[in-house]
Amino acid sequence: MTSDITRIGPPGTADGPAAPPAGYDSMDDHELLRLHVAGNPDTFGLLVKRHRDRMWAVAIRTLGEPEEAADALQEAFISAFRRADSFRGDAKVTTWLHRIVVNACLDRIRRRQVRQTDPLPEDEDRAAELAGPVEEDAAEVRERRLDVLKALKQINVDQRSALVLVDMEGYSIEEAAAILGCAPGTVKSRCARGRARLLPLLRHWQTTRGGSDVPEKTAAETVGTE
């Protein structure tokens, strides 16, 4: 594990203890993770900072609840921190992180289902906050973001996680299957059924675009959870 390590820190100067960790920013994810495994105490935190918004998006879309998403992400990142040496260098670091985050989310959902508690309460203030800082986004962007989060929450979790990975995160069917640990055909089927469930929930997107309304029979379909 240590044979190929040529340095523990980034290229820099020996200007003294106050020198900032310049040089890390230019490193790719593999390099940061490799340094973390070698014992560098700073690089994993930088990796987290680099990808946390992406992973937050995945977690919040998969779980639908900010508190749950925050807990799942914390579990996921601690797990990634400790298991970093199991990362195989031939994959992308983000794919590896996605797998850990998605699995942490699915674990939470399974635990929640086992507990059979009441559904988590809606927190409208928190939901609004999730749509992003007010000053940065146009109202319509925030509204769409909330629409998707709400709609995703209403569909079956297997369909939801498949759709988040394939349609929203842009993973191929095969990649999503590897992340979710199921057959590619299962992912395709979950995506198809998930889209069919989401369509009536997001039909106003299509009408606001100026096109004609989606047929009434579609809108009238009930939302199933299989």
Partner 1 sequence: MTESGLPTSEHLEHLDTDTIADLIENLLPAPEAHRAREHVKACPDCQQTFDALRQLTEDLADEGRADIPMPTDVAEHLDAVIVSESVLRASTVGVHSLVQLREEPRRHLPKLVLAAAGVIVVAGIGVGVVISTADQSKEGGAGIIPTVPIGTVPTLTSDQVGPNVQRWLENANGPVLHAGPAELACARSFADGRSNPDVRLIQQAKVDGKRATVIGLQGGSQRDILITVVTGCSSAGGAAAPFYETSVTLRSR
Q: Give the residue with the Cβ less far from partner 1, 120 or 199.
A: 199
Nearest distance in Å: CB 166, partner 1: 9
- Give the whole-angstrom CA distance, residue 121 versus residue 59: 18
The one among 29, 68, 158, 169 contacting partner 1 by CB under 8 A: 169
Interface stretch with partner 1, choices 49-57, 87-95, 97-105, 111-119 (CB under 8 A): 49-57
Q: Is residue 210 near partner 1 by the rule CB under 8 A?
A: no
Q: Give the residue with the Cβ less far from partner 1, 8 or 91.
A: 8
Interface stretch with partner 1, choices 99-107, 110-118, 174-182, 204-212 (CB under 8 A): 204-212
The one among 32, 33, 60, 109 contacting partner 1 by CB under 8 A: 60
Nearest distance in Å: CB 139, partner 1: 15
The one among 7, 30, 92, 204 contacting partner 1 by CB under 8 A: 7
Q: Is residue 5 near partner 1 by the rule CB under 8 A?
A: yes
Q: Find the binding residues for partner 1 in span 98-137 (CB under 8 A).
A: 129-133, 136
Nearest distance in Å: CB 205, partner 1: 6
- Give the whole-angstrom CA distance, residue 62 versus residue 68: 10
